[in-house]
Each structure stands twice: as C-alpha cells, then as structure tokens.
Amino acid sequence: MAGNQVTLTIAGDAGSLQAAAAQSDRALGSEAPKALRVAGNQAAQLVVDNARPRVPRRSGKAAGSIKARSTQTATKIASGGRAAPYMPWLDYGGKVGRNNTASRPFIADGRYVYPGYHEVKGQFEGVLRTALQTIADEAGLELE
C-alpha cells in the first residue's frame, strides 16, 4: 500500500492464453494486449460500479476515489489517494486521529471494494473469459 491509497489487484487464470501464445506468438497479433486491457477495464468497472453506492457520503470524494486502473498486464481497482486519504479507514476500519480518537471496527475483507468484487465475481470472470475466447478465435487458436 503506497501512502493513503488502497489497491486491489485481481488476477485471473490466463494460463490457457499464455499456452496459446507460446504456440504462436505471431497469431495473436499486436491487438491482443490492448483487447485484454480493455476487457480488464470492463471487468474492473463492474466492481467499481458495485462498490461506489455502498460508500457513505458526505462530499462523495471517498466514493469517487474508487477507480479502475490498468496496464497491458494488470487491472487494478484503486481507492483513496489525495482526494480521499481517509478511504482506507472507511473501508477497512482501525483507529485514526489524535490519540486514536476515531475508531472503527477493523474488517480484513473491507466493507466496500472486496465485497463489491465478490458480488460480481461471476460477471467479472465472464467478461474476461469472453475476451480471451474472442482474442483466441481471431488468432485462429483454441482455448481449453
């Protein structure tokens, strides 16, 4: 955890795609990483859309700080940061403030982001599975 930002990384089973890539790197083409990143963003957005309404609101900054982020190799759901440095405390709990005056029961799985993921896990996996199948089909490869 860097600073006041909480990052949830969700890694799917891409072993079958890696095996297919080993069979034929050229068959996948240059569009495969972009397509995977787009699919990762779509899947992560499902979690963001499920988690945001759960967050308590005063200014809406905490809920607004929950965002999907991605690279070509990973998709992450981040919350907190400069806009809402208190978001990890809201999500996981603990004691903060002068002399730990603000206390909230600690919940290891969090209250908003991880439960949001668990609720849409089936849809999340479906989006990624469909994208992997589409990429493989376009490359003329078979996934198991």
Annotated domain spans of the chain: 5-83+111-139
The answer to which of 10-19, 70-79, 93-102, 131-140 has the lowest mean pLDDT is 10-19
Taking the model in full, what pTM does it have?
0.76
Q: What is the DSSP string of 79-129?
A: EESSS-TTHHHHHH-EEESGGG-EEE---TT-SSHHHHHHHTHHHHHHHHH
Q: What is the total residue count of the chain? A: 144
Q: What is the pLDDT of residues 11-35, one digit of tens each?
A: 544 555 555 455 545 556 677 788 8
